[in-house]
Structure 1
Amino acid sequence: MPAKVNCPTCQNEVTWGDQSPYRPFCSKRCQLIDLGEWSSESNTISTPMSNELQGADADAFIEEVEAMLAKSGESFFKE
């Protein structure tokens, strides 16, 4: 059974799976609202990120992200 998460923008429930292309957001609109908040610096990371992923772990993570992006077959920002 796919996991359920709340949309970070509007808090609507979203199924984490292929049927939800904007996950963790419920829609393109919520995704773009979040992007706007980051670009206007309304959202920030409060502490510097640590380099927890190093070596083979980092390589595996990068490969996983690249595979996920290749699988989607679409640009992240296309409608």
Structure 2
Amino acid sequence: MANCPICKKNPRDPNYQPFCSKRCSDVDLQRWLGGVYVLPGEPADDLLQDDRED
């Protein structure tokens, strides 16, 4: 069984997969909302500009 991706604790809780607890699930959500995690790609402003030119 894999460890929790946030705290590396084992085992994971089936109610909060792939995390071990609500706390770790909330930490992950806050990282997404806070911009800690990013997906590579063009900046959104560049994409909007390209759409206006078409």
TM class by shorter chain equals 0.5 to 0.7
Unaligned ranges ≥5, structure 1: 49-79
Bigger Cα Rg = 2
Query: Using the alignment, how far apart are the partners of 1:8 and 1:47 within structure 2?
Result: 24
In terms of fraction of residues, the more helix-rich structure is: 2
- Tell me the number of residue pairs that the alignment of Structure 1 and Structure 2 aligns: 42
The percent identity for this pair of structures is 36
1:42 is aligned, of 32, 36, 41, to: 36
Distance 1:24 1:14 in 2: 10
**Structure 1 consecutive aligned stretches of length 4 or more whose deviation exceeds 6 Å:** none
Aligned to 2:21: 27
Deviation at 1:46, TM superposition (A): 2.7
- CA contact 1:6–1:12 (8 Å) conserved in 2: yes
Q: 2:11 aligns with which of 9, 14, 20?
A: 14
Q: In angstroms, what is the RMSD of aligned CA positions?
A: 2.0
Deviations 1:38-75 (A, max 9, x none): 00010112358xxxxxxxxxxxxxxxxxxxxxxxxxxx
Structure 2 gap segments, 5+ residues each:
43-54
**Structure with greater strand percent:** 1
